[in-house]
Structure formats: structure tokens, C-alpha cells
Amino acid sequence: MKKYNVAVVGATGLVGQEMMRTLERRKFPVKNIKLLASERSVGKKLKFKGKDVKVEILNKNSFKGIDYALFSIGAELSKQFSPIAAKSGAVVIDNSNAFRMDREVPLVVPEVNPDAAFKHKGIIANPNCSTIQMVVAIYPLHLEVRIKRIVVSTYQSVSGWGKEAVEQLINETKSIVAAGIALQGSGRVYSAGSGRPWSASSGRVYSTSSRVNSTTTKVLPHQIAFNLFPHIDKFEENGYTKEEIKMVQETRKIMNEQQMRITATCVRVPVFISHSEAVNIETEEKLTADEAKKILSKAPGVVIVDDPANSKYPFPIDATGKDAVYVGRIREDKSIPHGLNLWVVSDNLRKGAALNAVQIAELLIGSRGL
């Protein structure tokens, strides 16, 4: 079997690390691996297939002889270095949002639009993590009854914002737990930890120490421990965040449905890994919940966990470290003639990033791809 020289760009990051594990686990035919990151990481050694590999600094000469360059650095750096890598003859699969809406760049989810991958001109874009898991779950239903409108609310983990956001959740949680946690139950206030005094006002519990010192907050816009906020990426003038707009535009591009009506609310939650989504779809024709389950039970990349009588539905801690997109709470939306509600959960570092990227490379080399 032919083997390929692969560069992992951003190898020390959350996605880069997952890329390396995914290449190993799926036995991608790697001849040589090159690990690239910033100056900060030069000299670090990372294990690949049991061997230590030195991290090198990313520069314009990094891509000589590279066949596939899997990028997971920020958009600005991708814009700078992806064209250089492509010019050197590598096929770039980029995880950032730098090229996703570029007409010349395919945006690929192998379960949905695998053929688009072959139209690349050197760069292929990997979609946003929340978009990937949603389209994997809804596309098989779209093929059956055509989706007219999507209303999605996301519950996104901190790892979706990189390693520093994970550190922020850890640090804030530690500092709050160390100070003590107040719980309210049947009118009584319980405190744990240091047992600091708590004040109750109008039946609710307030604690100054449930807010962490603002100096602990780093990369996310607010405290995330014991909190959540509807703010992922920057706000645009129309009141939506960039993350919400990405979900709309990318879904349309991947599903090749430019007129599809889509609206999204993206929320950051204090979960380490795996995003969850409440997805409502309105379809042209009727599809019962049972019919939807039947279709999804055969859909590539999808696993159904849907047994509400036994409190079984997907959740992030179960999806973490797995490849599948998990779907549950499949039920008819009784407020419209043809509608369904779904609960969709997947590991944002795997299917939402590294796995999807490696699957694209697999498609191109003619191996399994799914």
C-alpha cells in the first residue's frame, strides 16, 4: 500500500493531538509524520506510533515533500500558511474557518458530500464542529422528506474553544469548589467545602464566591464553571454570533441547499468535551418518529440512543472518545404538520474535527473514508 508524508499543523493543540491519535487508530498509511506548532513548542516531543517525534516550528519551508497537511491552527495562520502548503504540492485539510465559505474550496463531511472532496484545488475545508454533527444526523432524513427549515440550539463544550478554555473551566471549578458550594433544597441552604456563610434573599441562594475572581477568566468571555452563556465567537451587527452564522452558511453549502431556512442559537456550557444540540426540523412531507428512527438506524456515522422509558438518551460524557454522532429524543413536533425534534451529541474533537479531517484524507487516497 502506498504511504504518505503527513504534516499535522497545530500538533500540540487539542485538535492536533486528536489528529495524531486518529491517524494511528485508523491506520492511515503514514510514511513520515511532521509535527508543526509555534515557537513555544519547539523541542517538545510527542509520541506517534510509540516513537518520539520532535515538534518543529511552522514556517514557509515546512511543507517540502508533504502529501497531506492537516491544519488545526487559527484562521489567520491558516490563511497565511495553507496556500504555501498547497503550492508545495500538499493537499491541505483545514479545520479553521479561513476557507469554509470560499467558492473554490470544498467543505466536506464524508457522510454527506464526499464527491466534493475530489474537486479541491489544494485546500479542503473541514466544517465547524457543531455543523458536522448536525448534518450527519439530519442529511439522511433530508434525502427522504426534504428539510424546509431547521431551528437548532447548541450546548457546546469548552474544548471547542481550544486548550486554554479547558484550563479556564478547570481553574474556575477548582477555585469555586475550594471556596465551598451552596445548594438550596426544600427551603434549606447546604454548604460544602470551606463552609463559608451564605446569604439567602427572596428564596434564592446568592453567594459571592460562586463568581470566580475575574482574573481567573481567560479566553472565554465569561465565567464558565457553574454557568453558561449564549455567546460563541464574535457578535455580528445583526445580533447573531459568528458561530450561529457559520452553522447556517456551512449547512447550506454542505447540503447544497442555498435557500434552506436555518436559525441557530449557540450556547457554551461547562462540559469538557462533546457538543449537544436540540434540533428541530420542518420537512416537506410527513415522517413519523418511527420512520425517522428506521432511517437513522442505517445512516452512516449515526448511533441511536433513544429509550426515554429507561431514561436513555445521548449525553456528552458517553459520546466523548467515540467516533459516532449519537441521536436520541426522536419525536414528532406536534406544533407543525411535518416536523421532528432530535437531540444530537458528538465528540467535537473527533467527528467535529480530527476524525472528519482524516476521513477526508482517506477518501482521497481511496481507503475507507467512513
CB of 341 to ligand NAP, least distance (A): 25
Cβ distance 70 to 9 under 8 Å?
yes
Q: List the one residue from 4, 28, 33, 72 that touches ligand NAP (CB under 6 A).
A: 72
Which of the stretches 27-35, 82-90, 137-145, 158-166 binds ligand NAP when contact is defined by CB under 6 A?
158-166
Q: Is 266 among the residues known to form the active site?
A: no
Which residue number is nearest to ligand NAP in terms of Cβ? 13
CB of 17 to ligand NAP, least distance (A): 8
Reference 4, options 81, 70, 71, 56; nearest CA is 70
Reference 141, options 315, 288, 323; nearest CA is 288
124 counts as binding ligand NAP under rule CB under 6 A: no
Q: Is 275 among the residues known to form the active site?
A: yes
CB of 19 to ligand NAP, least distance (A): 9
Question: What are the b/e assignments for 187-213, b being 16+ CB within 10 Å?
Answer: eeeeeeeeeeebeeeeeebebebbbbe
272 counts as binding ligand NAP under rule CB under 6 A: no
C-alpha angle 230-235-236 in degrees, rounded to nearest 5: 135
Q: List the one residue from 10, 106, 110, 301 that touches ligand NAP (CB under 6 A).
A: 10
Cβ distance 14 to 161 under 8 Å?
no
CB of 344 to ligand NAP, least distance (A): 15
Residues 327-366 that bind ligand NAP (CB under 6 A): 348-349, 352-353
Question: What are the b/e assignments for 118-130, b being 16+ CB within 10 Å?
Answer: eebebbbbbbbbb
Q: How far apart are CA 158 and CA 22, in angstroms?
A: 21
170: cell is 478547570
CB of 58 to ligand NAP, least distance (A): 4
108 counts as binding ligand NAP under rule CB under 6 A: no
368 is in an annotated binding site: no
Q: Which of 129, 222, 231, 266 is catalytic?
A: 129
Q: Which of 120, 142, 275, 338 is catalytic?
A: 275
Judged by beta carbon, residue 223 or residue 274, the one nearer ligand NAP is: 274
58 counts as binding ligand NAP under rule CB under 6 A: yes
100 is in an annotated binding site: yes
Reference 23, options 35, 6, 40, 46; nearest CA is 6
316 counts as binding ligand NAP under rule CB under 6 A: no
Judged by beta carbon, residue 14 or residue 330, the one nearer ligand NAP is: 14
Q: List the one residue from 16, 106, 110, 339 that touches ligand NAP (CB under 6 A).
A: 16
User: 65: alpha, beta or left, given left = phi > 0 and alpha = psi -120 to 50?
Assistant: left
Reference 267, options 156, 169, 162; nearest CA is 156
Q: How far apart are CA 39 and CA 26, in angstroms?
A: 30
CB of 95 to ligand NAP, least distance (A): 4
Reference 66, options 5, 2, 123; nearest CA is 5
Secondary structure of residue 330 in the 3-state scheme? strand
Amino acid at 244: E
40 is in an annotated binding site: yes
Q: How far apart are CA 277 and CA 23, in angstroms?
A: 27
80 is in an annotated binding site: no
The residues annotated with a catalytic role in the active site are: 129, 275
Residues annotated within the binding site for substrate are 156, 268
The footprint of ligand NAP (CB under 6 A) covers: 10-16, 37-38, 40-41, 58, 72-75, 77, 95-96, 129, 159-160, 162-164, 348-349, 352-353
